[in-house]
């Protein structure tokens, strides 16, 4: 469902992403991990059509994101890490706008679906308020609703739980599981290793723009030559980062 072929992005002489290739099957959720500045967000922004790759291709359900952008984006849902929205629209109007962008009519049942999603995320009482009065978590929830409104085949998610309260995190995790069960393909980038460990049967690790490892937990364990059951030490070993220092910063 998702194919990245030799994806490269250069800023001047700096490689943000270098020759990245991977595939995600339909109905799969892939975790995409990496340290800060590894190239996760650049990859995701290219997948969402916000940045043009220097070379390589991105195919969503066989449609090239830059060759046939309208068709590729019609099946894509994108949840960015920062919830920038139109402040002067109400939550309900924003969803109506998104429905318009996807050419959804009343007959497509988007209103009923938006009602259901707003209810699921506890935003129904807020749908007539301007977005400028929403908290960070509420904006994040609204973006998730907007990304799912047109029933996309592919969902690309950048840090899905930033700004969400524990209840919100639980809702998102449960929702992602349900969506994958329904056949949606999810590409999930996160810093929170626990979420990746819990939700993703396969994980890709990117470091300095290059894919270091891709596979199940046991594949990663094997590649890192580690016996540890937890993802954190495996991740740190693969990215060759030292274990965080645990000594106190107190009196020298």
Residues that bind other proteins in the complex, under the rule CB under 8 A: 45, 48-52, 69-71, 73-74, 76, 78, 80, 82, 84-90, 93, 96-103, 105, 128-130, 132-133, 146
Q: How would you class 71 by CB atoms within 10 Å of its CB: exposed for 0-12, middle for 13-18, buried for 19 or more?
A: middle
* Residue 141 beta carbon to other proteins: minimum distance, rounded to whole angstroms: 16
User: 75 vs 175, which CB is nearer to other proteins?
Assistant: 75
Tokens of 207: 């470091």
Q: Is 110 buried (19+), middle (13-18) or exposed (0-12) by CB count in 10 A?
A: buried
Q: Which is nearer to other proteins, 98 or 203 (CB)?
A: 98
Question: How far apart are alpha carbons 185 and 59 in whole angstroms?
Answer: 13
Nearer to other proteins, 59 or 85 (CB): 85
Which residues in 83-108 are b (16+ Cβ under 10 Å) and which e?
Answer: bebeeeebbbebbbebbeebebeeee
Q: In the complex, what is the shortest distance from the CB of residue 184 to other proteins, in angstroms, rounded to a whole number?
A: 17
Looking at residue 90, the DSSP 8-state letter turns out to be B
Q: Are strands 210-215 and 202-207 parallel, antiparallel or unpaired?
A: antiparallel
Q: Of the two residues 60 and 211, which places its CB atom closer to other proteins in the complex?
A: 60
Least Å distance, CB 114 to other proteins, is 14
> What is the pairing mode between strands 210-215 and 55-60?
unpaired
Q: Which is nearer to other proteins, 74 or 175 (CB)?
A: 74
Distance CA 115, CA 123 (A): 9
> With respect to other proteins, which residue has the nearer C-beta, 82 or 170?
82
């Amino acid at each position: 469902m998702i194919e990245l072929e030799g994806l490269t992005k250069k800023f001047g002489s700096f490689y943000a992403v270098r020759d990245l290739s991977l595939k995600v099957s339909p109905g799969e959720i892939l975790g995409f991990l990496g340290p800060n500045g590894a190239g996760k967000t650049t990859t995701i922004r290219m997948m969402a059509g916000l940045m043009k790759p220097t070379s390589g291709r991105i195919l969503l359900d066989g449609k090239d994101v830059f060759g046939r952008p309208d068709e590729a984006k019609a099946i894509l849902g994108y949840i960015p890490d920062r919830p920038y929205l139109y402040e002067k629209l109400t939550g309900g109007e924003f969803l109506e706008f998104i429905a318009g962008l996807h050419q959804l009519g009343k007959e497509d049942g988007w209103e009923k679906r938006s009602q259901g999603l707003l209810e699921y995320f506890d935003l129904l009482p807020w749908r007539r308020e301007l977005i400028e009065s929403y908290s960070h978590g509420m904006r994040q929830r609204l973006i998730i609703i907007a990304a799912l409104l047109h029933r996309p085949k592919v969902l690309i998610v950048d840090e899905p739980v930033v700004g969400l309260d524990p209840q919100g995190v639980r809702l998102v995790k449960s929702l992602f599981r349900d969506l994958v069960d329904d056949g949606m393909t999810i590409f999930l980038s996160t810093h929170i290793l626990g979420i990746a460990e819990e939700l993703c049967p396969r994980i890709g690790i990117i470091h300095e723009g290059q894919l270091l490892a891709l596979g199940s937990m046991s594949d990663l364990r094997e590649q890192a030559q580690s016996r540890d059951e937890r993802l954190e030490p495996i991740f740190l070993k693969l990215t060759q980062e030292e274990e965080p220092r645990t000594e106190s910063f107190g009196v020298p």
